[in-house]
Structure 1
């Protein structure tokens, strides 16, 4: 399983299997966030099965699908309060983990410096430097 820690409150991962949910719970995650639409790709596990496993293992379940490569301001507006309110630590997953990282970065830009965001993402294995203009927009819109 490829969990990538962004900070103490959130980690991201590529697509989880039902079996991965037990490991996430064993590692201490409290909330599981699915940012991938159900049936986005042939053969991916059904979200209902992952949700059932999350509930079985005592994890809070949040299904917040977003379209890959098309994260809207509305998506960020939904993600930001959800992540603040979620029981920590959170594990968010999508196809590769990038979508979750971008959602986190754009919501974090409202109260975290771009440099800190870039560093945390890079340390988790994601290069989001192309988001600089959008991070600046999120930062200035919420000051």
Structure 2
């Protein structure tokens, strides 16, 4: 029997940042990175970056084709950098809840994915826990505190 793939972001050339056992984030990935993501054990690939955001960026259709070829679930949920709306959070929350895990979400730097995760998690997780997980993954999202408090209040 073959050994199961190891979900070990330290053993890859991609800059994968584990938030928790359900989700990791990364800066822009290449078509070639998709096979590595599958080998690492990811089950769902989420693109939070719009096509054509900057010159030279891989086409999402090409990454989607590679994801499907590798047997990964594919979710294209583009979000404008610096302009994450409540609607974006409302779409992200059920998607991440229902996605086959673990999930690898990517954007230009990984920050957008982390913000989407944090805002959707604020509905049922303490701000301190969210800040700690994000900080451990290399993202300072402390500026989101008021918006996270609003998400928590809207959910109560």
User: Same-fold call, TM > 0.5?
Assistant: yes
- 2:107 aligned partner: 94
Give unmatched runs, 5+ long, in structure 1.
none
Using the alignment, how far apart are the partners of 2:34 and 2:16 within structure 1? 11
CA offset at residue 121 of structure 1? 0.1
With CA pairs under 8 Å and 6+ residues apart, which has the higher RCO, 1 or 2? 1
CA offset at residue 55 of structure 1? 0.3
- 2:97 aligned partner: 84
- 1:104 aligned partner: 117
Aligned residues: 143
Runs of 4+ more than 2 Å apart:
none
CA offset at residue 110 of structure 1? 0.3
3-state SS of paired residue (2:15)? coil
- 2:10 aligned partner: none
Give unmatched runs, 5+ long, in structure 2.
1-13
- 1:43 aligned partner: 56
- 1:31 aligned partner: 44
3-state SS of paired residue (2:82)? coil
Using the alignment, how far apart are the partners of 2:88 and 2:104 within structure 1? 18
- 2:145 aligned partner: 132
CA offset at residue 8 of structure 1? 0.0
Instruction: Decide which structure has the larger Cα Rg and report it.
Output: 2
